[in-house]
C-alpha cells in the first residue's frame, strides 16, 4: 500500500475492535477466569459460593492436542518431475520445519504446530512470519507463529499487501534489537508498544507512535502468511467482522457462564442446607441460644417457645431441568463423550462413526486452514532459500543434511497434508472394512473406508509380505540383505556371519530349483483369505476383543529344511 501511515493502521485496529474483544473473552474461558455469582443488577453477591467449571479448558486442551499431533506430510508433484527429485524437495521442507522448531526451542518458544493449533482453536486464525537469513556464517531458519490478537493486515489481488503485528518490549530489549532507537524514544519510559509494519517495499518500526526505523524490505514480498479459519460468518454485514474466523467456543461462548451460575446456586444451596436460617418463637425478650446442627447439640426452651427452620424455595426441579438443557447444548456445541474416551460401554462401529461426526466439524476446518497456511509458508521458504542461493545444514544435531538451493529450482505443486486420525474412528473403520467381507474390493476398503493416505503403497506392502510367505528363499534373501546393511552401519561381525549363513542356504535352495529337485515349502500357514460375505442381518462387529492370528505380529515360522524350529523376524529391506 503506497504511503501507508500509522493512522491507517490505527483505523483498522479500531474497525476490528469487536473482533479483538471476542478474542479476549475467549481467552477468559481458556484461562478459566474465576466466575462470580451476581444479582439481577450485575452486582457481586455476598455470602454465596461461586464455582468455575473446567469444561472450556478441557475442551480446548483436547482440540489443541489433536491438532498439534496431527502428522504433517509434504507432497511434491510436477509434470516431468522425477520421483527422486520430488523426494529431495519434500526432504527440504521436512528439514526446514525441523530446523525452525529447533531455532524456536533455543529461544524457549513452542514448536510451530503447537502454537498454530492453539491459535486456530482460541483465536480462529493463523499467521506465520518467515525470514530466512544469514547471521555471519550461521544460517537462521527464523520462522515463527504470530498471536493474531495483536496483528492487523490487509490483502489485495496479489496477496498480503501489508501487515502490522504489535508487541511490547522493555527498554533494554528495544535498544538491543534497535540500537539507533535511543535518540527517538522518550527517557524514563520502561516499556514500549512496538508496531512492526511491513509492506512489499519497506519495513517500518514504531515505538509508542514514534517511528524509530524505516528500511528496505529485502524479500520484495511481505514475509508473512495469514489465514482465517473457515468457521463463523463471512457475511458482508459490518457486524460480521466479530464472527469472522471463529474459535472453538463459538457455539457455547455464553453457555459456560450459565452452567457456572447453576452450579454456584446449587453449591450455595447445599451450604445453606447445613446451617439453614431459623425462626424462633420467644417469650418476652429472652434470647434463645441454639446449637443449630451441631452433633449432640441441645437447645433449652420454655413452655410456649419454639425454633424452626425457615423454608426456602424448592429449586431442585428447576435446577435439574435447566442443568440438563444447558449441558446438552454444550455437548452439541463441542466434542462428544467418545472423543474423550470416557464411555463406559462398548459401541458398534456404526455408532462410533456417528458419534465422531461432531468432532470432525471441530477438527477438519482448522486442519484445512493449517494445511493451506503451511502450503503458503512452504512456498515462501522455498522462494527465500532459492533467491538467496543458500546451501545450509538443515535439521537438528545428529540429524542434519546439507541442502543445496538448486534442488528447488523446479516447477512443482506443493501440498501440506494433515490427515486427521481419531483412534476411535480408525478402529471403527477397520471393523467396518472387516464386516464388509468380499462385497467390495480391497482397494475400495482402503480408499473409502480406511481412508489410507497411500492405498497403492499399502497394497504393495501386502503383496510383498505374501511373496515372502510363498517363497521362503525370497524371505531369506531380504533378511540377509538387511543383516548386511546393518553390519556395514554398525561394524558387527556377528551380523555379517548370520548373513553369510542365510546366503549359503539361499544358494542351496536356488540350486535345487534349477535342478528340478524341488523347491522349499511355503512358510507354515497360508496367505490370509479375504473376509467372507457377512450373513444377512449380521451386525457389524463391535470394538473390543479381536481374533488371534496364526503367528504373533512381526514373526514368521520357517519351514526351510534344517530350520524347522527357527522363528525368523520379518526384516525390512535396507
| 58/155 same-domain check | yes
| 227/93 same-domain check | yes
Assigned domain for 189 exists? yes
Whether 412 contacts 75, CB under 8 Å: no
| 406/475 same-domain check | no
Answer yes or no: is pLDDT of 516 > 90: no
Beta bridge partners of 196: 205
pLDDT band at 212 (very low <50, low <70, confident <90, very high): very high
| Count of structural domains, the chain | 2
Assigned domain for 424 exists? no
Q: Lowest mean pLDDT of 44-53, 253-262, 311-320, 463-472, name the range.
A: 311-320
Residue 429: CB partners within 8 Å, gap ≥ 6?
A: 349, 353, 449, 450, 451
| 382/500 same-domain check | no
User: How far apart (Å, rounded) are the C-alpha atoms in residues 486 and 574?
Assistant: 8
User: How far apart (Å, rounded) are the C-alpha atoms in residues 15 and 241?
Assistant: 9
Q: Would you state the cell numbers that stand for residue 103, as one nine-digit string? A: 531455532
pLDDT of the residue at 277:
65
Whether 124 contacts 362, CB under 8 Å: no
Residue 47: CB partners within 8 Å, gap ≥ 6?
A: none
pLDDT: is 400 or 379 the higher one?
379
pLDDT of the residue at 558:
41
Q: Lowest mean pLDDT of 310-319, 389-398, 463-472, 496-505, name the range.
A: 310-319
pLDDT band at 552 (very low <50, low <70, confident <90, very high): very low
| 401/506 same-domain check | no
**Rounded (10°) CA dihedral 332, 335, 338, 342:** -110
pLDDT: is 73 or 561 the higher one?
73
State the residue for C-alpha cell 524457549: 108
Q: Lowest mean pLDDT of 112-121, 292-301, 309-318, 500-509, name the range.
A: 292-301
| 409/455 same-domain check | no
pLDDT in tens, 50-74: 999 999 999 999 999 999 999 999 9
Assigned domain for 410 exists? yes
| 145/240 same-domain check | yes
pLDDT in tens, 194-211: 999 999 999 999 999 999
Among 417, 446, 463, the domain-final residue is: 417
Which structural domain, as residue segments, surrounds residue 517? 433-569
- The order of strands in the sheet holding 191-199 is 151-156, 159-170, 191-199, 202-207, 210-216
| 512/366 same-domain check | no
| 380/445 same-domain check | no
pLDDT of the residue at 256:
94
pLDDT of the residue at 290:
56
Residue 480: CB partners within 8 Å, gap ≥ 6?
A: 499, 502, 503, 506
| 469/396 same-domain check | no
What are the phi and psi torsion angles at 461 (to 5°)? -65, -45
Q: Would you state the cell numbers that stand for residue 420, as one nine-digit string? A: 486427521
User: How far apart (Å, rounded) are the C-alpha atoms in residues 268 and 223?
Assistant: 55
SS3 55: helix
Residue 124: CB partners within 8 Å, gap ≥ 6?
A: 23, 148, 228, 229, 231, 232, 244, 245, 246, 247
Find how far residue 182's CA is from the centre of its chain.
42
pLDDT of the residue at 51:
93
Answer yes or no: is pLDDT of 379 > 90: yes
| 376/458 same-domain check | no
Find how far residue 416's CA is from the centre of its chain.
14
When pLDDT is averaged across residues 247-266 and rounded to a whole number, the result is: 93
Answer yes or no: is pLDDT of 223 > 70: yes
Q: Lowest mean pLDDT of 262-271, 347-356, 385-394, 513-522, name the range.
A: 347-356
pLDDT: is 33 or 426 the higher one?
33
E-state strands within 63-171: 72-77, 125-135, 138-145, 151-156, 159-170
Q: Would you state the cell numbers that stand for residue 465, as one nine-digit string? A: 509380505
**Length of the chain as a residue count:** 574
232-246 core/surface letters (b: 16 or more CB in 10 A; e: else): beeeeeeeebbbbbb
Assigned domain for 402 exists? yes
Nearest in space to 464 (alpha carbons), one of 560, 546, 556, 533:
556
pLDDT in tens, 366-378: 999 999 999 999 9
Q: Lowest mean pLDDT of 155-169, 357-371, 435-449, name the range.
A: 435-449
State the residue for C-alpha cell 517495499: 201
pLDDT of the residue at 535:
44
Among 390, 417, 444, the domain-final residue is: 417
Assigned domain for 484 exists? yes
SS3 400: strand
pLDDT of the residue at 141:
96
pLDDT of the residue at 299:
61
pLDDT band at 543 (very low <50, low <70, confident <90, very high): very low
- Read off the pTM: 0.74
| 522/409 same-domain check | no
Assigned domain for 310 exists? no
pLDDT: is 133 or 574 the higher one?
133
Q: State whether the Cα torsion 419-423-424-427 is positive or negative.
A: positive
Contacts of residues 488-493 at CB distance under 8 Å and 24 or more positions apart, as own/partner, are: none
Answer yes or no: is pLDDT of 104 > 80: yes
Neighbours of 264 (CB within 10 A): 22
For residue 255, the surrounding DSSP H or E stretch is helix 255-274
Assigned domain for 354 exists? no
Nearest in space to 256 (alpha carbons), one of 56, 430, 413:
56
> What distance separates the 2 farthest-apart alpha carbons in the chain?
125
Out of 25-39, 272-286, 394-408, 529-543, give the one with best mean pLDDT.
25-39
pLDDT band at 297 (very low <50, low <70, confident <90, very high): low
User: How far apart (Å, rounded) are the C-alpha atoms in residues 93 and 269?
Assistant: 59
Q: What is the rounded average pLDDT for all residues in the chain?
A: 83
Assigned domain for 447 exists? yes
Amino acid at each position: 500500500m503506497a504511503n501507508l501511515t500509522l493512522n491507517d493502521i490505527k483505523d483498522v485496529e479500531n474497525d476490528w475492535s469487536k473482533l479483538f474483544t471476542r478474542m479476549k473473552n475467549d481467552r477468559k474461558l481458556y484461562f478459566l477466569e474465576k466466575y462470580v455469582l451476581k444479582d439481577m443488577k450485575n452486582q457481586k453477591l455476598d455470602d454465596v459460593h461461586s464455582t468455575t467449571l473446567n469444561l472450556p479448558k478441557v475442551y480446548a486442551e483436547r482440540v489443541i492436542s489433536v491438532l498439534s499431533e496431527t502428522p504433517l506430510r509434504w507432497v511434491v508433484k510436477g509434470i516431468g518431475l522425477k520421483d527422486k527429485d520430488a523426494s529431495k524437495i519434500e526432504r527440504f521442507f521436512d528439514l526446514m520445519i525441523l530446523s525452525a522448531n529447533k531455532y524456536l526451542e533455543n529461544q524457549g518458544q513452542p514448536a510451530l504446530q503447537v502454537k498454530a493449533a492453539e491459535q486456530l482453536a482460541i483465536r480462529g486464525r493463523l499467521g506465520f512470519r518467515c525470514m530466512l537469513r544469514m547471521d555471519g556464517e550461521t544460517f537462521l531458519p527464523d520462522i515463527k507463529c504470530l498471536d493474531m490478537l495483536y496483528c492487523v493486515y490487509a490483502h489485495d489481488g496479489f496477496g498480503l499487501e501489508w501487515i502490522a503485528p504489535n508487541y511490547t518490549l522493555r527498554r533494554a530489549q528495544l535498544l538491543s534489537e534497535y540500537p539507533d532507537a535511543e535518540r527517538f524514544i522518550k527517557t524514563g519510559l520502561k516499556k514500549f508498544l512496538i508496531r512492526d509494519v511491513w509492506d512489499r517495499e519497506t519495513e517500518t518500526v514504531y515505538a509508542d507512535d514514534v517511528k524509530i526505523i524505516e528500511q528496505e524490505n529485502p524479500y520484495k514480498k511481505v514475509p508473512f502468511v495469514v489465514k482465517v479459519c473457515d468457521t463463523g460468518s463471512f457475511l458482508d454485514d459490518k457486524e460480521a467482522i466479530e464472527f469472522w474466523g471463529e474459535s472453538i467456543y463459538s457455539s457455547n461462548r455464553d453457555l459456560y457462564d450459565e452452567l457456572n451460575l447453576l452450579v454456584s446456586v446449587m453449591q450455595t444451596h447445599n451450604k445453606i442446607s447445613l446451617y439453614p436460617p431459623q425462626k424462633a418463637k420467644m417469650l418476652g425478650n429472652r434470647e434463645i441460644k441454639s446449637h443449630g446442627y451441631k452433633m449432640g447439640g441441645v437447645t433449652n426452651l420454655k413452655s410456649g417457645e419454639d425454633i424452626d427452620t425457615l423454608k426456602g424455595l424448592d429449586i431442585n426441579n428447576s435446577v435439574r431441568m435447566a442443568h440438563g438443557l444447558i449441558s446438552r447444548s454444550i455437548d452439541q456445541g463441542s466434542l462428544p463423550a467418545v472423543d474423550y474416551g470416557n464411555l463406559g460401554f462398548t459401541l458398534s462401529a456404526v455408532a462410533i462413526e456417528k458419534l465422531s461426526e461432531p468432532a470432525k466439524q471441530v477438527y477438519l476446518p482448522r486442519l484445512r486452514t493449517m494445511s493451506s497456511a503451511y502450503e503458503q509458508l512452504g512456498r515462501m521458504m522455498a522462494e527465500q532459500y532459492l533467491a538467496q542461493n543458500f546451501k545450509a545444514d538443515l535439521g537438528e544435531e545428529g540429524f542434519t543434511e546439507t541442502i543445496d538451493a538448486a534442488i528447488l529450482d523446479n516447477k512443482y505443486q506443493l501440498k501440506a497434508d494433515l490427515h486427521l486420525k481419531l483412534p476411535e474412528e480408525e478402529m471403527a473403520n477397520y471393523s467396518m472394512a472387516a464386516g464388509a467381507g468380499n462385497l467390495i474390493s480391497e482397494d475400495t476398503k482402503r480408499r473409502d473406508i480406511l481412508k489410507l493416505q497411500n492405498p497403492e503403497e499399502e497394497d504393495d506392502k501386502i503383496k510383498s509380505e505374501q511373496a515372502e510367505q510363498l517363497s521362503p528363499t525370497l524371505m531369506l534373501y531380504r533378511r540377509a540383505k538387511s543383516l548386511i546393511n546393518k553390519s556395514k552401519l554398525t561394524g558387527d561381525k556377528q551380523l555379517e556371519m548370520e548373513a553369510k549363513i542365510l546366503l549359503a542356504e539361499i544358494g542351496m535352495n536356488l540350486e535345487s530349483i534349477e535342478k528340478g529337485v524341488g523347491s522349499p515349502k511355503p512358510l507354515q500357514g497360508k496367505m490370509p483369505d479375504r473376509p467372507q460375505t457377512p450373513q444377512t442381518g449380521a451386525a457389524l462387529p463391535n470394538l473390543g476383543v479381536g481374533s488371534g492370528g496364526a503367528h504373533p505380529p512381526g514373526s514368521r515360522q520357517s519351514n526351510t529344511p534344517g530350520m524347522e524350529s527357527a522363528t525368523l523376524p520379518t526384516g525390512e529391506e535396507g
